[in-house]
Structure 1
Amino acid sequence: MDCPSTTAWRVAQHRAKHQILDNGAIFRDPLACPILGTNEQDPDLAHDQQDEKSFRSFLAIRSRIAEDKLSSAIQHGTKQVVILGGGLDTLGLRGPSTHKNVTFFEVDSPAMHVWKQRHLAKVRVSVPSSLIFVSVDFETDTLKERLIGAGVDATQPVFFSWLGVVPYLSRASIERTLQCAAIFPDSDIVFDYGEPIENYSGQHRAIMEKRSKLVESFGEPWISRFQPAEMHSLLQNTGFDEVLDFDRNRIASYFGWPPVHTTQKASPHVVHARTHKNKD
């Protein structure tokens, strides 16, 4: 595996495992295995590792919420989708089969885009004309300028999907990205974030500490984690009018699952935020 991002590759593996081991119960992705260049008979995808299932489920949960909200936005007229930190995400690749007349802009580093396009050709996954790759360094580039330069219409709504990226960015970069997303009129963003590891206790804290050390060993350390009140304040200050934060209990309610009874106060989070302003 020569992917520039080990974490992106591992997330893609978890997505494929969700299709195989969980029958795609939460989130169906027909390209999850093909984008890895494999199939459902791959022995590397046929078994669980310790503490893996809950993490794999959360990855499916955040994708399902994002694409449910995307479908709703498209029904209300949104025709532009920006995938921030695309990695091996398949949303833009699946675009023509799921959302007609919608343009997808996939944002990631130049190195990731060069590798991904070469890899897609190698595994024979076609890139539709509705998908445009936009190379951006979140820490140094001006996102709005890059998006408009790639063809995003700043006068029209945009749906932003930003999954699995926030923990790896500085707070300044996160704030700039949210400010950019809020500029576009009547737009949506879905992203996930993690609470500080110190918020966790017992076995859950041990799992989080283990994951933190693992991603750091890949050279992709967690940089930013947020208290929920901090994140909600940041969203308000950057221009979002409506914020829905899916914590553990809201996730259970969303999917019609039984309430979660646990002494663990910390939770993973998926956020759906919206603007309601017709901006110049």
Structure 2
Amino acid sequence: MISKTICQQGRGEPVVFYVPETAQPGLSRTALGVCAFCAMVNRNPTYRDVFFDPFAERLFAEGAVDGQHILDRLTDWQSELTFADENGIARRLVASVLWRKTFMQSRAEQALENGAQQIVVLGSGLDTIGLRLSGSHSQVPVFEVDRPETIAAKRFLISRNFGVPPNIRYTAVDFARETTLNKLLELDYNHNIGTVFIAEVSLEYVPPAEVAEVYQMVRSNRSPATRFLTSFASTESVSQSMGESDDIGNVVAGAGEPFLFNVAPDEVSDFATEQGFFVLDHLYGSARIVDYIAALGLSIDVMDFPIEQLDASSFSLCRLKPH
């Protein structure tokens, strides 16, 4: 079962999206949607060579209402594209998994090679980077932080289907009463050593004052090996000024999980500086996405959507270093 979300773009006809209904209490619908896109990427032989998530299909099958039935319909890539087109799923959302997930994983691995000794995933949802790295970096502690109900649902699904690797620790935080740092310290997190902090499309859902607290926490880890991998969603006005639509911002609002924090791509550097960080990488916009895709060994011709359709709020990705 999939529920319909209709969003009015402001120009042209309304766009119809279908967002999965969750079968597990506490799971975010948008997080489950990203899990579905990862499962769909697995069905594309070209995409799969670049990014493969061996856990996504099982998580979507059990996390979504009728998830297994939906996957059973997607027997090959063409049937998947037909499903996407019939159900209003923008193809670029599926393809964007390539640069979002490969960016976060490659930069995390680079940070570990350069001295970081642990990973903290903020707003982890159903992201599987801890599981994906557990084979090659099983000695690295991974702390996954989210709301208690989300962590409970994730722990249940991971435990039942794969087992939780000993290096992964799920950290439930009641943000109204607890601080993330204090909860991490209770679980043997070491704030004095190099850490890879990851906030992939999670801070966008947090009020600006709480975002500032996250940046302060990351900045207070003064190890030279610490890195912050994060994303930024653009505002609707920025999207329109770039001649692009704000589909994603409308969709998440329609799903009941609106963005509360936005930074336009050309304002990211100033924002990072204000928060006490250097920008080491900043991936955004059609031109840079094309270059990034080429660096992955892919031609833009293999993408299943025109690159000029790239949504401005498909998120810019950053690798930051605290001052």
TM-score with structure 1 length normalisation?
A: 0.85
CA distance change for structure 1 residues 250 and 169 in 2, over 3 Å: closer, same or farther?
same
The residue number in structure 1 matching 2:24 is: 2
The answer to whether residue 101 in structure 2 is matched with residue 101 in structure 1 is no
Q: Equivalent pairs: percent with the same residue? A: 21
Amino acid at match of 2:197: F
Q: Which moved more, 1:102-111 or 1:140-149?
A: 140-149
Does structure 2 conserve the Cα–Cα contact (< 8 Å) formed by 1:92 and 1:131? yes
Shift of 1:40: 10
Does structure 2 conserve the Cα–Cα contact (< 8 Å) formed by 1:106 and 1:133? yes
CA distance change for structure 1 residues 176 and 139 in 2, over 3 Å: closer, same or farther?
farther
The residue number in structure 1 matching 2:73 is: 43
Distance in 2 separating the partners of 1:215 and 1:63: 19
CA distance change for structure 1 residues 113 and 63 in 2, over 3 Å: closer, same or farther?
same
Among residues 257, 261, 268, which one is paired with 1:220 in the alignment? 257
CA RMSD between the two structures: 2.9
Distance in 2 separating the partners of 1:14 and 1:70: 21
Distance in 2 separating the partners of 1:263 and 1:126: 40
Does structure 2 conserve the Cα–Cα contact (< 8 Å) formed by 1:138 and 1:173? no
The residue number in structure 1 matching 2:219 is: 182
Distance in 1 separating the partners of 2:69 and 2:96: 22
The residue number in structure 2 matching 1:13 is: 36
Gaps of 5+ in 2: 1-22, 62-67, 301-305
Distance in 2 separating the partners of 1:83 and 1:212: 23
Structure 1 residue matching 2:43: 3-state secondary structure:
helix
CA distance change for structure 1 residues 168 and 129 in 2, over 3 Å: closer, same or farther?
same
The residue number in structure 1 matching 2:320 is: 273
Shift of 1:238: 2.0
The residue number in structure 1 matching 2:109 is: 71
Residue correspondence of structure 1 range 18-167 to structure 2 within 5 A = 18-21=41-44, 23-37=47-61, 38=68, 42-43=72-73, 46=80, 47-49=83-85, 50-122=88-160, 124-138=161-175, 141-167=178-204
The residue number in structure 2 matching 1:197 is: 236
Shift of 1:190: 1.1
Structure 2 residue matching 1:14: 3-state secondary structure:
helix
Does structure 2 conserve the Cα–Cα contact (< 8 Å) formed by 1:15 and 1:32? yes
CA distance change for structure 1 residues 253 and 131 in 2, over 3 Å: closer, same or farther?
same
The answer to whether residue 277 in structure 2 is matched with residue 240 in structure 1 is yes
Distance in 2 separating the partners of 1:264 and 1:100: 36
Distance in 2 separating the partners of 1:77 and 1:61: 24
How many aligned positions are there? 272
Structure 2 residue matching 1:160: 3-state secondary structure:
strand
Shift of 1:21: 3.4
Does structure 2 conserve the Cα–Cα contact (< 8 Å) formed by 1:182 and 1:275? yes
Does structure 1 conserve the Cα–Cα contact (< 8 Å) formed by 2:41 and 2:97? no
CA distance change for structure 1 residues 265 and 212 in 2, over 3 Å: closer, same or farther?
closer
Distance in 2 separating the partners of 1:121 and 1:58: 28
Distance in 1 separating the partners of 2:194 and 2:258: 33
Distance in 2 separating the partners of 1:32 and 1:137: 26
CA distance change for structure 1 residues 254 and 56 in 2, over 3 Å: closer, same or farther?
same
Gaps of 5+ in 1: none
Amino acid at match of 1:31: F
Does structure 1 conserve the Cα–Cα contact (< 8 Å) formed by 2:232 and 2:264? no
Structure 2 residue matching 1:150: 3-state secondary structure:
coil
Amino acid at match of 1:12: C
Distance in 2 separating the partners of 1:89 and 1:263: 25
CA distance change for structure 1 residues 195 and 213 in 2, over 3 Å: closer, same or farther?
closer
Structure 1 residue matching 2:135: 3-state secondary structure:
helix
